[in-house]
Structure 1
């Protein structure tokens, strides 16, 4: 009976029943709100997995016995949640008992869908591939990985919230897309008109989702995207990592076979922000497949594909609505703000109906005195053009000029163009840059500048999930393409040798003419070089004696650090980010050791060569960050001991480094280390006993190391440790008795630890412990220590996870 109830569309319905019960209970039962919120998010996150299971079961024409187990978990869960409503607030034994039951339910759901059902998907996928004839896929299985990494599946962006003035264009665009015989629809408009917003609305429209179902693929096409990159993103949307292609013809053949295999359901491919001159790319993606549609958003109309759908600027009424939303606080009317109506009217008209201009200009004026409004109004009467779309740029320019009195904030805005378009910019990378460029003492100043830019609608600050530990590795920034262009245009107004920032984009191996012809020293403090998949690491020489920050953005499978960096004697910050699909080993790595002033290194998605950090002396290096990197033997001793190679290192960050099973023991020899952050390293099982040698360590973060089983007893020797974070270390069920020796420990983070977690009696010795951040269930464990630790404050953390970032990062 259970198997009959579970399967097909019933899977989603069953989970929906539990979700409904959880949502209702969460709003009524305050004492369990935190854990119920977490269960709600767990249930919402598994819905895509359910859809995939349904597709596979349909393809195999069967129902799997594993899904019968799901019914049992759901039914038990409903009973537990409903029983919670009858518990009185002061009934602590029952409260503790049902807290544990709810946590066990959440753990069961997570385990079931991460292990049991993923195994079923992997097995069923192989069976599907076996029965489909003419395959040439060579898939490597389901994609895993952590937040922000190239291992995540690309998803359709979230629906825009309260879009203004797009109801009619949406209806007309749908009619164009649904026409028989139309395979490519080009949505064209100047930048800042809302093309991307309209495309996202379309993807979430009921009629569109009913027609195309799960076969809607959304790819943001940057200037450097290739056919192979786009096709890989299409495959990843379905959850598969495809093996190497054997050339362009192979790419097209596999895409054609893929689209035929997902018939008879229609397919919609959305290519957002396609650059002018990309006709040949679109031609290759235009295949003779039944009910296969392509929607292109671009500044270009691409007449080869028929008449483009032209998105017009907003009319006056809609412009006024959008502007008021940005320019005035939610609880503030215009009359309360004392801003004359004529100022508002003239500024709105000056924005020419461009949504981006209305939002940016409105945001820059929010809370400003009437004199600033009047000044902006007069600026709108000036003529002049600095980019192709003069009306829009003149609207935005005033907002940028308004930053002049906030000197560093404007400089921070200009620095953002050092990163590729349409990519999430890590806040921690910006902190490293700005600490050295502008002597910002403390991370909070850099973050405050970002929020100032966000308040003016010049950037979007994205928080993947709230971080209680005081670091910012879960925060990112996005900059609109046009605002990035505006910054680059201003930078390029000067000749190359006098620019404060040098932002270089190399296509293939073609460098700018000024680079080849350079005769003078380059005075830039910041150098950013972006290269595409075809770059061969053949570097021309450039003399940058004043540069303090170098950012290298690349996509190629092989990459060598440029020799000219050796001459950058003032270099303080080196950031190397690989945006490709596979980790790339860095060539010429040892040259970094020749930079005597280098203080900070950030590496993303690269394989660090063996003995990479012991092949040279990094005399003044203070901080290194490695994200999604293969560490391997990077710290192993070669000709130089690690203590000699990194004599002044104070901070190490490992984030999503999947090959770390045990922390490299060599790290424990770095006596000056003050901060050690090992986060989201899902294979980390243990810490070496020699961690006791880090006598100056003040901060130890181990967040989301889900396989970490124990802390060594020698941790008690870390006499200077003040912050310890073990949040989401799900296998860690106790603290060692020696934890009581940490007399300087002032803050302990332990949100979402093991359900069986136990506190040792030595906790009572932590006289300087001032704050414990934990979940509601763990808070109960601290109650017996309340009388012994008079200065202790227990802070119950309500977890909040933001999944909207998935559409922000090109994977």
Structure 2
């Protein structure tokens, strides 16, 4: 009982301390603001610098005195309670023997793992065992902290499997099971390209394309979900895999492995004490045993026994003692009272509590703040440091310039203690283990709060975070309006890859945020907000403000300039921003200003020379006739990191460039100099002198020069004294006559040359006078858009130098005048891409490590000598006029490649030469694309008739696309023998008449036929009975724009078929059905009736029928009741469904209706009395010409409706009332001219019904979207 009373008293004291800190901060802010005003008026010499106002002389002082009296009273109330509880004051920073500590030297993922060799080998054996599809999913099961992720990581990176799987992908699933997010994360892990699509179907199709016909390995880390339906959806892109593909799942729950149909689950056991001791020693001493420190071993063994075999506990405890060899310090931790807490008192593992308890105070505060990070959420180091700074956790620094370095030290220290860890699949991101996250939440108590499943929040909460979704509505924030003392408001995202525009309810901007006057950190990142209210200027204590990735905002409120305390201002990716606040010179404490990607910014109106604390200034824009403002950079001596100076054509006096004194800014690492891309009337001599004046520090690492109009660069560009330079980009410097001599720069890794249209020769000048030992570090070389480049002359270059010894990637694109050949021996080259170089001859000979080869639009490809394909994974030949090789040039052994593409290469496909045969004799692709091959008449596995052009398809092919082969007449009967082929796409083959089922490979799962205008029959074997032994496992059939198609043989459709799409086939007179899950049927005018067994398709989830005007009846039995998505077009189908079937669709989530009822005045029609299914989350209504209102009765049960789209309803004027739209997150109204006026912000009669919705678009013309929120 007393312990609880003490805890409550300490919480009251903590909250009082927070309140006192707020008042003192507010008072200090006002003093600083007034002193700044006096300095600006030139009156600072007549008054004391810190002029403390006389009490009660203005409203501010009266308010602050009232707050002080209130706090004093509360403090006095706590005193008798303290005495009653017999509490006494102690030194809060008790002595500790844990310091000093060595600086961490690496942030590498854990390299030393003990006790898991057998487990690792077991998983490796399962991975390499490809004869049993039941081993497709391999679960690793065990309790939290036991090392499931570590084991998966060991296997994922093991050298023995690297050549067995491609691609590989890693995705963190977590207890927040979002299929779209997880699918995008897998896709982006494979492609390394951000995916901005938010349609699950589109994303899964892209993922299926990446995985189809490949042996892949995917790790799904930290899985909790046991829902079979969810897993079925997530795994659907993996259907077209080839045998041997694997998914590793890490989970705490054996039920997950059962749900996924795994044959075996590998249970991970606790470590032995010996192995646990090795883990502890590795993290405490950097060694696996105690040979160097035998006196510590006994204490260590006792501590390790308390870890109960849990590696995370041993690792964290070892991190606490890292590099400390004081026996007494170890004994202090062993004897800590924290070990004695019972399970009833704390659910946190004692070893972890001990680790926190013995942290120094400054790290405790930083670690506790990390409780705002949701589990499995990735975060950036820089972001956390800036947030720590905003909360005042880095005050030990001597000055502002050292604060950030101190933040890096604190962060690295938490990493070295294993309280933060590097993300497995992205070394630039960090995560917290679930148990560490629980620890942080436990020690933060009510101070840190995350909006997750529970909406309850303490009114004393100080820091708030949540995972931002695409639409964040009013319900999400209902529970936090009482937390008036919040210091942090932070939307986050799970993954750095998972980026998309987001929309926030207007109520947060108008009702919630203006009342949070204690905020130190406010982020609205990625929210698309057109206009920020002036309330921001009232948040006087604000130090961190993040509006990044807002692509619609054009200007910011001027009140931002009144934020005296503001230190970090992030506007990265605000691509539509045109101006900054005009008085930003008032932000004298500003240290970080990031306007990267604010391309429309017209200038810097403020006097930036006053912002002497600036350390990061990503961009400095010189407006028209404002070139002299470049001198303002002179006083910004603390700049570091990157700086882009644009608008340099506006500098009239070259001496202004010298006055910027870039050479003194030694902490600048990345410099971009950018002129205008409009070249007429430019002054070359002035620009040359301006570039001379911008000579940077010799420590510069990256240099980019864009749109410079001079014929020569400044002498310092390429000078060997810049020996730290790693990257050089020359972009659209169209008058430049020659390239700088950069060969002697020892650390140069990347060179990009683009748009240098006056350069005709690249040769010895690039290397410098002495060509020996040049480009010793160059890894990436790009030449793009070099219109007049004619020769790459390497004759005068030293033979060793022309090898570019470390060059990994070479890109040459759109260099139409380039003649001759390129370097023929590049020993380290892995990727070669040459595009649109119509005169270039490419000799492929001595590229021993080449893995990706792409040649598009070139004159000739020559193979000389033996070509070893052993390392190649991808080959693409498109638009090549001539191929030259001999059979002896190719190795006879077959080399497996992932993909092989041939397009518009008539000579390669010609029957006159056996070029295709020579290639397929040596190359065995999994993914094959053939396009624009006019001679091609047939495809198969062996030659049939010499007089016809036939391509022999390699037996290794898993995924094949044939498109725009106009003479292709048939698929050979031999195609059936392609046992590995699982996906076949035929498109634009106008002479193809039929596709017989007997021709289809036995394991084909996906068949798509598009724009084959003469195709008449599908799956029909004329004159023959279908071979019953010809098993068919087809799962997806897609037929689009085949205008002559009349018949699909229904009798031979396999029972395995799950998805059927038929579109734009006007002559098709019948609709086949099987045990379908998805049926899409549109624009087929000849179909007159739906299938008779429609109601019995119990597995059907998705049904689309539109553009079929002759369908006159729906059978009396109705439609399946398990539908989740229904798309209907035309009153002939919609009316009977509305009147008879709609109320039975209790699982329906999405309803799309177009041209549903031409006479309907309301929707649903009031006279029918039908209500829409309460399960609906998405509703789309289109082309109701007489519709005037959406019926309140029909919408009254739609409490889950989130998305509403209304299009082309010209008479619509009323939306449902009585809060019927309270759950909406997205509203789009187009082609409804009356609604544009009625929905006007604050004025229209419908505005009150929609003002809470995060994303609203109303447009009367149906042409241009007008965003009103």
Q: TM-score, normalised by structure 1?
A: 0.60
Name the count of aligned residue pairs.
Answer: 575
Give the distance between the partners of 2:420 and 2:157, measured in 1 at CA: 24
- Assess, with a 3 A threshold, how the Cα gap between structure 1 residues 422 and 688 changes in structure 2: closer, same or farther: farther
What residue is the counterpart of 1:469 in the other structure?
none
User: For the residues of structure 1 that align with 2:273 and 2:306, how far apart are their CA atoms?
Assistant: 11
**Residue 503 (structure 2) aligned to one of 558, 572, 584:** 558
Superposition map of 1:197-276 within 5 A: 197-212=150-165, 214-224=166-176, 226-236=178-188, 237-240=190-193, 244-246=197-199, 248=200, 252=204, 255-256=207-208, 258-259=210-211, 262-263=212-213, 265-276=214-225
One of 412, 430, 445 as aligned partner of 2:385:
430
Tell me what 2:460 maps to.
523
Query: How many Å separate the matches in 2 of 1:675 and 1:692?
Result: 16
Q: Say whether residues 1:399 and 2:345 are aligned partners.
A: no
Residues 159, 204 of structure 1: 8 Å contact kept: no
In 2, Cα distance between the equivalents of 1:181 and 1:349? 41
Tell me, what secondary structure is at the counterpart of 1:174?
helix
**Structure 1 SS opposite 2:340:** coil
Corresponding position of 2:320: 364
Q: Give 1:385's aligned residue.
A: 343
Greater Rg over alpha carbons, structure: 2
My pick for the range that moved more, 214-223 or 643-652, is 643-652
TM-superposed CA distance for 1:525, in Å, is 3.5
Structure 1 residues 296 and 209, CA gap change in structure 2 (3 angstroms) = same
User: 1:569 matched to which residue of 2?
Assistant: 517
Name the counterpart of 2:268. Answer: 311
Q: Give the Å deviation of 1:652.
A: 6.3
User: Does the Cα contact within 8 Å between 2:317 and 2:352 map onto a contact in 1?
Assistant: yes
Deviation of the 1:780 alpha carbon: 9.9
Aligned to 1:447: 408
SS of aligned partner of 1:574: strand
Aligned partner of 1:282 among 231, 250, 262 = 231
SS in 1 for 2:610: coil
Greater shift, 179-188 or 287-296, is seen at 287-296
Corresponding position of 2:133: 181
Q: Give the corresponding residue for 1:483.
A: 436
Q: Is the 8 A contact 2:551 2:575 kept in 1?
A: yes
The answer as to whether partners of 2:522 and 2:542 remain within 8 angstroms in 1 is: yes
Q: Which residue of 1 aligns with 2:540?
A: 596
Say whether residues 1:723 and 2:665 are aligned partners: yes
> How many angstroms apart in 2 are the aligned matches of 1:345 and 1:385?
23
CA distance in 2, matches of 1:240, 1:439: 36
Cα separation, 2, equivalents of 1:711 and 1:335:
68
The corresponding residue for 2:637 is: 698
Q: In 2 relative to 1, CA 195–462 (structure 1 residues): closer, same or farther, beyond 3 Å? A: closer
Question: Is residue 297 of structure 2 the alignment partner of residue 341 of structure 1?
Answer: yes
Aligned with residue 660 of structure 1, among 599, 605, 622: 599
The corresponding residue for 1:322 is 279
**Residues 1:772 and 1:602: Cα distance change in structure 2 (over 3 Å):** farther
Residue 679 of structure 1 and its aligned partner are, at CA, apart by: 7.2
Matched, 1:506 2:448: no
Q: In 2 relative to 1, CA 242–506 (structure 1 residues): closer, same or farther, beyond 3 Å?
A: same
CA change 1:601–1:167 in 2 (3 A) is same
From the superposition, tell whether residues 691 and 664 of structure 1 become closer, same or farther in structure 2 (CA, over 3 Å).
Answer: farther
Shift in CA distance, 245/165, structure 1 to aligned 2, threshold 3 Å: same
Tell me which residue corresponds to 1:651: 590
What is the Cα deviation at residue 705 of structure 1? 5.0
| Residues 110-145 of structure 1 deviation map (CA, whole Å, 9 limit, x = unaligned) | xxxxxxxxxxxxxxxxxxxxxxxxxxxxxxxxxxxx
SS in 1 for 2:250: strand
8 A Cα contact 2:549 2:572, kept in partner: yes
Aligned residue for 2:829? none
Deviation at 1:203, TM superposition (A): 2.0
State how far apart, in whole Å, the 1-side matches of 2:779 and 2:622 are: 25
The answer for unaligned runs of 5 or more in structure 2 is: 1-106, 398-402, 494-499, 676-685, 706-711, 727-740, 746-776, 781-1269
Contact 1:665 1:690 in 2 (8 A): no
For 2:662 and 2:448, the matched residues in 1 are separated by: 42
> Going by fraction, where is strand more abundant, 1 or 2?
2
- The answer (yes or no) to whether the contact 2:471–2:503 under 8 Å persists in 1 is no
2-structure distance, mates of 1:422, 1:650: 31
In the aligned structure 1, how far is the partner of 2:650 from the partner of 2:715?
A: 13
TM-score by length of 2: 0.40
Q: Matched residues in 2 for 1:552 and 1:706: separation?
A: 31
From the superposition, tell whether residues 708 and 739 of structure 1 become closer, same or farther in structure 2 (CA, over 3 Å).
closer
Q: Which residue of 2 aligns with 1:614?
A: 558
Q: CA deviation at 1:445?
A: 2.9
Q: Distance in 2 between matches of 1:647 and 1:483?
A: 41
In the alignment, the residues of structure 1 paired with residue 429 and residue 530 of structure 2 have an alpha-carbon distance, to the nearest angstrom, of: 25
Other-structure match for 2:821: none
Q: Which residue of 2 aligns with 1:167?
A: 117
Q: Quick check: 1:409 aligned with 2:357?
A: no
* Larger deviation, residues 454-463 vs 421-430: 454-463
Report the Cα offset of residue 350 of structure 1: 1.9
What CA distance in whole angstroms lies between the structure 2 residues aligned with 1:234 and 1:227?
A: 11
Unaligned runs of 5+ residues in structure 1 are: 1-156, 466-473, 493-498, 637-641, 764-770, 782-797, 802-811
The separation in 1 between residues aligned to 2:716 and 2:208, in whole angstroms, is 61
Q: CA RMSD in A?
A: 4.8
Tell whether the 8 Å contact from 1:593 to 1:616 is kept in structure 2 after alignment: yes
How much does 1:402 deviate?
1.0
Partner of 1:139: none
2:175 and 2:224 in contact (8 A); partners too:
yes
8 Å CA contact retained: 2:699, 2:725: no
Secondary structure at the aligned position of 1:552 is classed as strand
By relative contact order (CA 8 Å, sep 6+), the higher-ranking structure is 1
1:371-406 residue CA offsets vs partner (Å, 9 max, x unmatched): 23223334586352379976xx12211111112xx2
| Residues 383 and 570 of structure 1: CA distance in aligned 2, closer, same or farther (over 3 Å) | closer
- Cα deviation code 1:577-635 (max 9, x no counterpart): 45xxxx74476554322313323313444336111243765442533432642242252
Partners of 1:456 and 1:800 in 2: CA distance: 35
Q: Is the 8 A contact 1:164 1:318 kept in 2?
A: yes
Greater Cα offset, 232-241 or 713-722? 713-722
Tell me if the contact between 2:692 and 2:715 (Cα under 8 Å) persists in the aligned partners: no
Alignment of 1:770-781 (within 5 A): 774-775=724-725
d(CA) in 2 for partners of 1:779, 1:699: 31
Q: By how many angstroms is 1:356 displaced?
A: 1.5
Partner of 2:461, secondary structure, is: coil
Alpha-carbon shift at residue 271 of structure 1 (Å)? 0.9
The structure with the greater share of residues assigned to helix is 1
Once residues 202 and 424 of structure 2 are traced to their aligned partners in structure 1, the CA distance between those partners, rounded to angstroms, is 39
Moved more, 439-448 or 583-592: 583-592
The answer to whether the 8 Å contact 1:589/1:609 transfers is no
Distance 1:691 1:741, change over 3 A: closer
Taking structure 1 as reference, are residues 524 and 634 closer, same or farther at Cα in structure 2, changes over 3 Å only?
farther
